[in-house]
Structure 1
Amino acid sequence: MKPHEAAGWWLYMIRAEDDSLYTGITRDVTRRLAEHKSQTSGPYRGAKFLRGKRDLQLVFSLAMKNHSQALKLEHAIKQLRKPCKEALLAGKLSVEELLGRSETEGKSDKCAAR
């Protein structure tokens, strides 16, 4: 079993050639990345956001306790502006800080970075 398959749910982030970031959740990161890269239609297709984007690279993955926690973190990350997402990737913003942010903050230019 690969490390990405050991946990029940994973949160992942993909960077495309145009430097855009995509966040998603899955049970199998390796399989999901392959689906995004294949850009086919049908039941096992990649995300609409990534269609037409090239050179997709997995830049972040995190094992989650359960589906609910994965969904919460995915939503929190998707609410961030790009500088905050980059701070998360650089380790300047922790997942704990991100989950502790008030829902009233919404999309903010300021990150709760250390």
Structure 2
Amino acid sequence: MSSMASSEHYFYVLHCGDDSFYAGYTTDTLRREQEHNRGIGSKYTKARRPVQMIYKEVFGSRAEATKAEAAFKKLSRKQKEQFLSVRGICIAGRKNESESEEKKDATAKKL
């Protein structure tokens, strides 16, 4: 009665070690995140490990999930951050903010 094919299709977003985002499609989010972290997930993420899955959205068909993936990939960095922010995920400028604070502190010490 039950089919081996998954009826759940996911669009997901990874936050990469270099502070970039990677969007993808899968039917198994846990397996896919592990593959990316083992260096067999994609060429893009291989050099940007570790990665962390920060967002996933389930769809009823592969077509719907890959459409969401394609739409996300077309967004600017700022738009991607806004997309994630309205869904409760705040990533915006984590590294940049801490670097800015360090620069401000260094400048203040010079004065």
TM-score, structure 1 length as denominator?
0.67
3-state secondary structure, aligned to 1:87 = helix
Larger radius of gyration: 2
CA-based RMSD: 1.5
Partner of 2:71: 76
3-state secondary structure, aligned to 2:34 = helix
Cα deviation, 1:62-87, whole Å, max 9, x if unaligned, reads 11121110111111011111111110
Partner of 2:32: 32
Identity value in percent: 30
Size of the alignment, in residue pairs?
Answer: 82
Partner of 2:108: none
Relative to structure 1, is the Cα distance of residues 91 and 50 closer, same or farther in structure 2, using a 3 angstrom cutoff? same
Q: Which runs of 5+ in 2 are unaligned?
A: 1-5, 88-111
Q: Which runs of 5+ in 1 are unaligned?
A: 1-5, 40-44, 93-114
Q: Structure 1 segments of 4 or more deviating over 4 A?
A: none
Greater helix share, 1 or 2?
Answer: 2
